[in-house]
Amino acid sequence: MNTTVDTPIPKMIQSISEAKAHFSAIVDEASGGKVFVICRAGRPLVTVSPYVRPSPVRRPGTLKGKIRIADDFDALPEGFAEAFG
């Protein structure tokens, strides 16, 4: 059985006041990939994790009519093919 998981194990912060006291350190560690769970009265409330930028949506055809390819694009300059044998 494969138990390898890509998700890091979250570190539990037991109270909001503890999170407030160490907020800068939590943000620094979270930006490095660590995940934190902040609790209230011992119950998980929120997670702090690194921001993952979503990949942009690709829209085919957005450059249609904006790119022009020269008529002689496929023509090789004289002597070019001979230079490569």
Domains of the chain, by residue range, sit at 7-51
Residue bearing the bigger pLDDT, 2 or 52: 52
Residue 46 pLDDT greater than 90, yes or no: yes
pLDDT band, residue 6 (cuts 50/70/90): low
Instruction: Specify the CATH number of the domain 7-51.
Output: 3.40.1620
φ, ψ (nearest 5 deg) of residue 44? -60, 135
User: What are 61-85's pLDDT values in tens digits?
Assistant: 988 999 998 888 888 888 888 888 7
Cβ(42)–Cβ(19) below 8 Å:
no
List of E strands, 1-85 = 11-13, 36-40, 43-48
**Strands of 36-40's sheet, edge to edge?**
11-13, 36-40, 43-48
pLDDT computed for residue 27 by the predictor: 93
